[in-house]
Amino acid sequence: MLNKESDQRLALSEAALNQECIAAAPACFVITGVYRRTAKKYGKRARRYVQLEAGHASENILLQAVALKLGTVVVGAFDDQEVQRVLDLPAEHEPLPVIPVGFPPERTEE
């Protein structure tokens, strides 16, 4: 797990096509996959299994956010290499979803 000491939200937002929810969120989770590691055991099915597990982990983050009355969304629109650079990820760690979590914007009744 990466824990950078400086705030990377603006750079991460820029890597994600300038999505404001990432820059504004108090926390952003980035789930990564290492396909080669899974392929040692599961061969050609590794890609599918890694993506399924990333989906399960994402769902658990979303469910917990809802339980805590927080706002969240799964973001898939981003430049993979730029996310890797911003977060200083190892080359074999491919970013999958970016999940900003924070306080939902105030809603007004119309």
Nearest alpha-carbon partner for 34 in 49, 19, 18:
49
Q: What is the mean pLDDT of residues 25-43?
A: 96
The pLDDT value given to residue 30: 97
Question: Distance of CA 28 to CAs 7, 37, 40, 76, 82, Å?
Answer: 11, 25, 30, 13, 16
Q: In which residue are the tokens 């805590």 written?
A: 68
| Residue 4 pLDDT class (50, 70, 90 cuts) | low
What the block records as the tokens of 88 is 């200083």
For residue range 48-61, list pLDDT tens digits in order: 999 999 999 999 99
- Domain ranges for the chain: 9-102
Regarding pTM above 0.75, the answer is yes
By DSSP bridging, strand 94-102 and strand 27-33 are antiparallel
Averaged over 92-104, what is the pLDDT? 96
* CATH level 3 topology of 9-102: NADH Oxidase (3.40.109)
Q: What is the pLDDT of residue 3?
A: 56
pLDDT for the residue numbered 105: 73
User: What's CA 59's distance to the chain center, in Å?
Assistant: 11
Q: Please, which pLDDT band fits residue 106 given cuts at 50, 70 and 90?
A: confident
Contact indicator for 89, 18 with CB cutoff of 8 Å: no
User: What pLDDT shows up at residue 110?
Assistant: 55
